Amino acid sequence: MGARVALIELTSGPPHVLLTDHLDGDRSIYIYRVDDLHKATADLKKRGLKKQQSLEIPMGPCSSFVTPGGQRIALYELARPGVLEHFLGRKDF
């Protein structure tokens, strides 16, 4: 895809911070892993959040939302568990 992404580990475990150059806008996107994307997406919709889009990230399917205050969030379901280990320690630029 040509995206440049850097993972920063602030602690010995999650959460991780990703810096990337391929997203529009100047607001951060908080991405959360959920066990059941369909259920979690339905729960957010019941709370009044409007789904922005469905997409795929390396770890699996993802749905993005914008809160009433303008914060961007996304939920993903881990469908490809080995992907993170594939990227850890990789240096492409």
Give pLDDT tens digits for 40-84: 999 999 998 988 889 888 889 999 998 888 888 899 998 988 877
78 vs 80: CA distance, rounded Å: 6
Phi, psi of 46 (to 5 degrees): -65, -30
| Number of Cβ within a 10 Å radius of residue 31 | 17
pTM: 0.73
Of all residues in the chain, the percent with pLDDT exceeding 70 is 76
**pLDDT at res. 87:** 66
**pLDDT at res. 31:** 84
40 vs 77: CA distance, rounded Å: 10
**pLDDT at res. 38:** 95
Residue 92 pLDDT class (50, 70, 90 cuts): low
| Number of Cβ within a 10 Å radius of residue 53 | 9
